[in-house]
Amino acid sequence: MTVFLELGQRPDEPGPPIHGAKIYPAEVAARLAADAETVIARYPQSRSALLPLLHLVQSEDGCLTPAGIAFCAKQLGLTDAEVTAVATFYSMYRRTPTGEYLVGVCTNTLCAIMGGDAILEALEDHLGVHAGQTTEDGKVTLEHVECNAACDYAPVVMVNWEFFDNQTPSSARDLVDGLRDGKPPMPTRGAPLCNFKETARVLAGLPDPQAAAAQTPTGDATLAGLRIAKERGMEAPAADAATDSHSGPDDEKVATEATKDQAAPAPSADVPAQPNEPETDPDATESKT
């Protein structure tokens, strides 16, 4: 008896299973195998190359496909199920076809406070799609991101993982208009924009040398802590310095010595609590008006 199991997410997870071609044409498989050999050679254990190989096959298809999963498994001596288990854990591996530009709006705490939710809503209205969908022209896939790791420039929008800092609803609309018009703007920092498949190839560890050379410097806000540390002569411990907490002063003894002459703090309530006090009187609660 043959049992067919379609690999994909659990029933309670968002997103469809992995669809698409089952195998690559011979010429595509040969080309990818040459690239995979370069990537795998960087790792002492071949299976450690799984994440970059998933980006490699994503650079071919624009998302994960059964053909890409099978290719990675074959190159690394893994099963399709093992590869799928890893691939479906990370949100950077797409399960549906992705537009030329993946536009991610950070809606995590700081960016949300600074206007991230308003930016996402403005883009959904402007593009006529919801987060997770792609425009009809195939140019832009919109998504919300939990954190872009760029709180120093909130609110932040990322395009193919390049930063566009201090955005507003208006500037974000101008940004996606430029993408759709074939005039992608230069990111605030980092490398010039390339399309999603080219970005996936970079993430696989096969970057374009010219694009890498054109990167802009890190922003001042990101380096503020380092600058202050240098001004104050602060340095990290030497690499060979002892890190065992028992090798230094006894923290408990130091704390005891520092506070031995201080008066004990007064209790915040009688112990035990007396009757008819706020702590025990049901008629003296804050909710009672």
Q: Return averaged pLDDT per consecutive 10 residues of the chain, 289 residues in all.
A: 59 65 94 96 95 96 94 96 92 91 94 94 96 94 90 93 94 96 91 92 87 73 88 85 60 73 64 52 51
Give the domain CATH number at 152: 3.40.30.10
Within a domain: 234: no
Which pTM value belongs to this model?
0.73
CB 105 within 8 A of CB 120: yes
Peptide linkage before 155 cis (omega within 30 of 0): yes
Within a domain: 128: yes
Which of 49, 65, 89 terminates a domain? The answer is 89
Assess whether 121 and 152 both reside in one domain. yes
Which of 163, 195, 227 terminates a domain? The answer is 195
Q: Could you please report the per-residue DSSP string of 173-198?
A: HHHHHHHHTT-PPPPSBBSPP--HHH
Peptide linkage before 192 cis (omega within 30 of 0): no
**Which range of residues forms the domain containing residue 52?**
26-89
DSSP one-letter code for 134? B
Helix axes 66-76, 80-87, angle to 10 degrees: 120
Assess whether 59 and 139 both reside in one domain. no
Domains identified in the chain, total number: 2
3-class DSSP assignment, residue 162: strand
Within a domain: 11: no
Within a domain: 137: yes
- Token pair of 166, please? 């201090």
pLDDT in tens, 31-57: 999 999 999 999 999 999 999 999 999
Is residue 101 within a helix (H) or strand (E), and if so which, with residue range? strand 101-106
- How high is the pLDDT of residue 270? 54
Give the domain CATH number at 48: 1.10.10.1590
Assess whether 51 and 122 both reside in one domain. no
Residues 6+ apart with CB under 8 A from 150: 106, 156, 163, 165
What is the spatial distance between Cα 115 and Cα 188, in angstroms, rounded to a whole number?
18
- How high is the pLDDT of residue 209? 73
